[in-house]
Amino acid sequence: MLPNYRRCVSCRKIAPKEEFWRVVRVFPSQTVQLDQGMGRSAYLCPNRACLQTAQKKNRLGRSLKASVLEEFYQVLWQRLFETDAESQTR
């Protein structure tokens, strides 16, 4: 079975979708959430540089055609710090 490839909205890297965070604009509520739901999706590398660029240049908002709140970026930063902490303890 071939892997499903996706592209990061920030750095444009193409990789299997398991390597990315999936950000979803949920239909019909137009809310933006992480990893679950059906609707328009955007993919983001789970690293500091891609998250900074996506936030600074509104890459997620433009890709999802929805406004992405500052609180949502805080959730992404928190998740990034948690995954960094996990990888350092291994």
Per-domain residue ranges of the chain:
5-89
- Measure the CA angle with vertex 42, ends 37 and 9; round to 5°: 165
Q: Cα(9)–Cα(54) distance, rounded to whole angstroms?
A: 7
Q: What is the pTM of this model?
A: 0.89
Q: Which two tokens stand for residue 19?
A: 């390597």
Where the chain has pLDDT below 50, the residues are: none
Q: Which CATH number fits domain 5-89: 1.10.357.10, 3.40.50.970, 3.10.20.90, 3.30.1230.10?
A: 3.30.1230.10
pLDDT of res. 1: 66
